[in-house]
């Protein structure tokens, strides 16, 4: 028996040395990776952090070992920072890998937030027992910031910073859909067309016109609530969508807009300008027609406000089409 051990013990020592060397080699590879790597056991307790993971989380491996991964990787979804994500738990529960290319926010130990992309996979034994997870992630803050800048540029007016026509139509489509689902839901759409704006461009040039448009945008933002969706549709045309708003509230807001714009003295390069605003409004509810018709209703109401003397509010009431047709005919005859 002793003779057998004499030969077997060195053999096991050699195997142990090989396993140790392989483990050290793998750890060295993990430490050298440019991506952050975090490993856990089956209970989601931290077993390993590489140098990059220490840098991004603010935790050292020594302090993190044995702690729940959710305490070290504090992850939330972009736009919903209250809901904490735990991809390691989801991976263990589902038995499937979890991937997020971007849109996940990592809050480091010092409170610094970064956008990350990650993938997490199960680590299993040859008998398919769950041993833990390995999570690889990287900092995509710069990429995400560039994407958000492109998204912002595509959805906002470069002069005023307000949402542009496309973005506004997307919001309007969303609220119209909700109104058709909810019998109690009522929203108001207002089209704003500036009066005497052409005189600003003619006398002060386009720079003066741009300055006035930017100031009007600020007036709209100041008077409208944060729940309202304001936009510049183009030229001297603006729009405001007032969700969950009855006609009385919309009436008050629209008339205040008219009054403030009318009473504001716009200045540019030593010159002053006075303009006005005509507003056409229509109600959006479960009985509303399709989007194109709603836009037409607001446009007709705005046209009627202008024809009735400008600096006024006109609500579409179902008979507005006849009124507009009559006013258009009168204007055409007067032009003869």
**Helix or strand run (H / E) with residue 322:** helix 320-335
Residue 274 sits at φ, ψ, to 5 deg, of -120, 130
Question: How far apart are alpha carbons 171 and 212 in whole angstroms?
Answer: 26
DSSP class of residue 97 equals: -
Specify whether the CB–CB gap between 98 and 86 falls below 8 A.
no
**Helix or strand run (H / E) with residue 277:** strand 276-284
Question: How far apart are alpha carbons 171 and 229 in whole angstroms?
Answer: 8
How far does Cα 190 stand from its chain's mean position?
Answer: 23
Q: What is the DSSP string of 161-183?
A: -SB-HHHHHHHHHHHHHHHHH-T
Does 263 qualify as catalytic in the annotation? Answer: no
Catalytic member of 41, 90, 236, 263: 236
DSSP class of residue 68 equals: B
Specify whether the CB–CB gap between 297 and 200 falls below 8 A.
no
**Contact partners, residue 51, CB within 8 Å, separation at least 6:** 31
Q: Report the 10 Å Cβ neighbour count for 146.
A: 11
Would you call 296 helix, strand, or coil by DSSP? helix
Question: What are 22's two structure tokens?
Answer: 């392989």
**Active-site residue numbers?**
236
């Amino acid at each position: 028996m002793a003779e057998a051990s004499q030969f077997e013990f060195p053999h096991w020592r050699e195997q142990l040395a090989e396993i140790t060397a392989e483990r050290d080699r793998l750890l060295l590879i993990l430490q050298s990776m440019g991506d952050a790597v975090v490993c856990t056991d089956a209970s989601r307790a931290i077993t390993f952090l590489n140098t990059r993971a220490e840098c991004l989380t603010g935790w050292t491996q020594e302090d993190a070992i044995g702690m729940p991964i959710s305490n070290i990787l504090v992850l939330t979804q972009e736009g919903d920072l209250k809901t904490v994500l735990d991809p390691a738990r989801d991976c263990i529960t589902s038995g499937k890998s979890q991937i997020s290319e971007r849109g996940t926010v990592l809050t480091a130990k010092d409170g610094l937030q970064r956008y990350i992309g990650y993938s997490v996979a199960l680590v299993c034994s040859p008998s398919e027992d769950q041993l833990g997870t390995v999570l690889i992630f990287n900092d995509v803050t710069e990429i995400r910031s560039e994407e958000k800048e492109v998204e912002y540029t595509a959805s906002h007016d470069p002069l005023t910073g307000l949402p542009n026509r496309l973005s506004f139509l997307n919001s309007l489509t969303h609220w119209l859909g909700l109104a058709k689902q909810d019998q109690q839901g009522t929203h108001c759409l207002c089209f704003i067309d500036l009066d005497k704006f052409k005189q600003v461009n003619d006398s002060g040039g386009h720079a003066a016109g741009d300055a006035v448009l930017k100031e009007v945008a600020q007036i709209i933002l100041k008077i409208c609530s944060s729940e309202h969706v304001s936009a510049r549709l183009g030229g001297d045309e603006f729009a405001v969508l007032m969700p969950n708003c009855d006609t009385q509230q919309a009436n008050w807001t629209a008339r205040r807009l008219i009054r403030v714009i009318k009473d504001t003295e716009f200045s540019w390069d030593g010159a002053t300008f006075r303009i006005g605003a005509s507003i056409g409004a229509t109600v959006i509810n479960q009985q509303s027609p399709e989007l194109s018709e709603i836009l037409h209703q607001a446009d007709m109401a705005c046209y009627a406000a202008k024809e009735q003397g400008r600096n006024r509010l006109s609500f579409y009431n179902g008979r507005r089409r006849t009124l507009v047709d009559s006013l258009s005919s009168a204007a055409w005859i007067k032009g003869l």
